[in-house]
Homo-oligomer: A and B are copies of this chain.
Amino acid sequence: MNRKRSSSATLGDVAQLAGVSSATASKALNSRGEVAPATRRRVLKAAEELAFQPNALARGLTSGRTRMIGLITDELGGRFAIPILLGVENALGNEQMSVLLCDARGDAIRRRHYISTLVARQVDGLIILGDRNDIRPSLTSEIPVPVAYVYGESDAPDDLSFLADDEGGARLAGEHLVSLGRRRVGHITGEQTYRAARDRASGLQAILEEQGLPLAGGAPLYGDWSQRWGRQAASILLGRAPDVDAIFCGSDQIATGVVEGLRDLGRRVPEDVAIVGYDNWEVFAAECRPPLTTVDLNLQQLGATAVEHLFGVLNGDQLHGVIRQPGRLVIRESTGPPAATEGPSPHR
C-alpha cells in the first residue's frame, strides 16, 4: 500500500506519524519507562505502518551493545568448524544476535588483523575457533571484550575454553566394545602430535585397564588421518595381534580404511572384528560397508554451549577454565557380539 521509500523509516518518522516526540516513541517501542497505553498503541501502529526497523548502528552507538559476536576460525574448510559454527549461529540467532565471520586461515597476522577489525566494529564478544582441540597461546590481552575459545584451549588460566571431551568419547567406545564381549581391542589412530589422538588413546587404555584387559597389539598405532593409513594399519595390527576382535579407530576416515583392509585380509566386520570410528562424519560413517558405529562429538552442541556461557560473561558472570562437551555413541552395524564359533566361520 505504502509507497516504497529508498531509505527506510526512522524513529522520527514513527514519532511524527504517531504525534509524539521521538523520545516517547523510543520508550514505547522498547517497553521502557512509563508510557500511556493509548500512546504506546499509537506508536506501535505507526511503526507497523512504516515497517519501522530501528537502525542497529545508531542503537549500538548509544547503547554500547551491538548484539554482534565476532567469530574467528582457523580453517573453515576443515570438517570441525562447520558444525560448531552452526551451533554458534543457531544459539546466537535465538538471542537476536548476529555473527561476524572471519577466517584467519591459520595465519597469525591475519588473525590479529581480524581481531582489531572486529573490535573496531564493536562486537560484544569474540569466539576463537581452534582447528584441533589443542592448547594455543591466549589472545585475550589484545581483546577488550569477553572471549570464548572453542575446540582449542587457551593457555591462560583466566580464559574460558570449550573442548570436545576426547577421553570421555574414547571411554564410550571402549565400554561399548567391552560390553559386547570383545576382549582383544586394538587402537588405530591419527597423528600423535594431535592432542585429540593422545586423549582418545588414553581414554581407551583407561577403560581397558579398568577391565583388566590389555591393548591388542601392545600400543596404539599412530599415523595419518587417512583411509590409506587405516588400510595399512589394519594389516600391521593383524600381524602383531592376529586374534584382535575389535578396533577402536581415531576417525571415521581411518575406520573406513581399516574396514577395507580387514575385508582384503578376509576378516568379517563385525563378526570377526568389531569396529568403532570417531567423529560421526556421516558421509563416511553411514556409507561405510558396514555402516560405522562411531562417537559423535556433539560439536553443534559445543558451539551452543560456548555461546550460552559467553552470554553469561556478557551479563557479568565470572567464568574461566575448561568446559568439556561430552560426546555420544552412535551405534550402527560395524559392532555387535563376536561370532558364536571361534575364528572366521562360514556364517552365510
A interface residues, Cβ below 8 angstroms from B: 6-8, 53-58, 60-61, 66, 68, 76-77, 82-83, 85-86, 89-90, 93, 96, 98-103, 114, 116-122, 144, 226-228, 253, 283-284, 287
Contact = CB atoms under 8 A, between A and B. Distances in A.
Contact of A66 (B53, B57, B102): B57
| Number of copies of this kind of chain in the complex | 2
Contacts of A8: 119, 144
A86 B55 CA distance: 29
A93 B86 contact: no
Contacts of A54: 120
A120 B55 contact: yes
Contacts of A86: 76-77, 103
Given A8-B144, A86-B77, A57 B287 contact: no
Contacts of A253: 283, 287
A122 B89 contact: no
A228 B283 CA distance: 11
B58 A119 contact: no
A89 B101 contact: yes
Contact of A6 (B144, B227, B283, B284): B144
B228 A287 contact: yes
A253 B60 CA distance: 47
Given A8-B144, A61-B61, A101 B101 contact: yes
A121 B57 contact: yes
B120 A103 contact: no
